[in-house]
Chain A
Amino acid sequence: AQSVTQLDSQVPVFEEAPVELRCNYSSSVSVYLFWYVQYPNQGLQLLLKYLSGSTLVKGINGFEAEFNKSQTSFHLRKPSVHISDTAEYFCAVSGGGYQKVTFGIGTKLQVIP
């Protein structure tokens, strides 16, 4: 079994400030980890993914995430946010196979001008 916990349902942050969105997971097998972003009135879009190799993963729009196996975390970070980053962010874990993708509940990032 696998699960994803996103501890923060909403994160307000001022424009140009750094942000971290937290994600913890549990799984009994090796995992693939993802962050997806959903802008208003749109579907989800892949932001970045960790499959193997370097634990620091860089994605689109200046986001990055670090895989920490000992802490079972995959936190998403951006050093300076922009208004256009206002969206909902979903962490997901997959143990392989289509039926094993599990999503977190989502974190709404609100960038304040």
Chain B
Amino acid sequence: ETGVTQTPRHLVMGMTNKKSLKCEQHLGHNAMYWYKQSAKKPLELMFVYSLEERVENNSVPSRFSPECPNSSHLFLHLHTLQPEDSALYLCASSLQGKGEGEKLFFGSGTQLSVL
């Protein structure tokens, strides 16, 4: 148990579907992240939310839409995805401003398959 919970663990969706990934952290952290993990590629930072600002990777297509209603919850809304979006989506959190050098705590991920 890492303190970061992601649901669902697995998701299969068609290209015309709309679905959402959910992440919840119980660590009192003030920043949350979405990463995409694809085979043979480095982890790709998609989005970051902190108390101060949201950082968006410019290369993330608009079919991915994040939402952070509070510091403990993070969503990733998906619509009209493509097969190449199939990957493991990881949520992470951290405590910024405490000299931890961005120590990240990860959830177990959602394995997404787009048919």
Contact = CB atoms under 8 A, between A and B. Distances in A.
A43 B102 contact: no
Contacts of A90: 43
A11 interface: no
A20 B71 CA distance: 38
Interface stretch (B13-21, B62-70, B74-82, B103-111): B103-111
Interface residues of A, number: 26
Interface residues of B, number: 28
B55 A99 contact: yes
B102 A44 contact: no
25 contacts: A9-B40, A34-B101, A43-B2, A43-B4, A43-B90, A43-B106, A43-B108, A44-B90, A45-B2, A45-B106, A46-B103, A46-B104, A51-B101, A96-B102, A98-B31, A98-B94, A98-B96, A99-B45, A99-B48, A101-B102, A101-B104, A103-B42, A104-B42, A105-B41, A106-B42
B103 A42 contact: no
9 nearest CB pairs, A to B: A32-B101, A43-B106, A103-B43, A44-B106, A94-B102, A43-B108, A103-B42, A99-B55, A51-B101
